């Protein structure tokens, strides 16, 4: 699993790494993240950084992102998504409707991390 829990300036972040993946790789990573979330305690105040940079968004990929958003919305208070800005923001808006969390698009990972901990 590429995704992991990290500490950034004293705050715990779950970093979902879906960057530069094809559909098969993305399906595998999503399955591993779901299994991880089922086996580990993820607190309500967990902050989430999702990196989708370079991953082509197709109907199948959008479906996976929606499923993850619904499944994980109970665990987080804020989500930063990198790689879904500009024209791709339309897909983010669709995924956001399925999540109860505050979701914000970013083009830069460092800015996303700073927003999460602010």
Per residue in 34-45, pLDDT tens?
888 878 766 666
Average pLDDT over residues 77-82: 84
Domains held by the chain: number: 1
| Residue 78 lies in domain | 4-117
Cβ atoms within 10 Å, residue 7? 8
Q: Give the lowest-confidence range in 20-34, 58-72, 102-116.
A: 58-72
Q: Are 42 and 12 in contact (CB under 8 A)?
A: no
| Residue 14 burial by Cβ neighbours in a 10 Å radius (0-12, 13-18, 19+) | buried
Taking the C-alpha atoms of residue 69 and residue 95, their distance in angstroms, rounded to an integer, is 7
CATH code for the domain of 71: 3.40.50.10600
Is the Cα torsion angle 66, 45, 1, 103 positive or negative in sign?
A: positive
Q: Is the pLDDT of residue 24 over 70?
A: yes
Is pTM beyond 0.85 here?
Answer: no
Taking the C-alpha atoms of residue 11 and residue 25, their distance in angstroms, rounded to an integer, is 28
């Amino acid at each position: 699993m590429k995704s992991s829990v990290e500490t950034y300036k004293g705050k715990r972040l779950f970093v979902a790494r879906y960057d530069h993946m094809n559909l098969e790789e993305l399906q595998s990573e999503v399955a591993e993240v779901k299994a991880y979330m089922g086996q580990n305690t993820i607190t309500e105040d967990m902050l989430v950084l999702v990196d989708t940079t370079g991953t082509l968004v197709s109907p199948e990929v959008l479906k996976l992102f929606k499923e993850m958003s619904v499944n994980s919305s109970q665990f987080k208070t804020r989500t930063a998504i990198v790689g879904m800005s500009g024209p791709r923001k339309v897909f983010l808006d669709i995924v956001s409707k399925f999540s109860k969390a505050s979701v914000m698009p970013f083009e830069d990972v460092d800015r996303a991390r700073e927003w999460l901990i602010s």
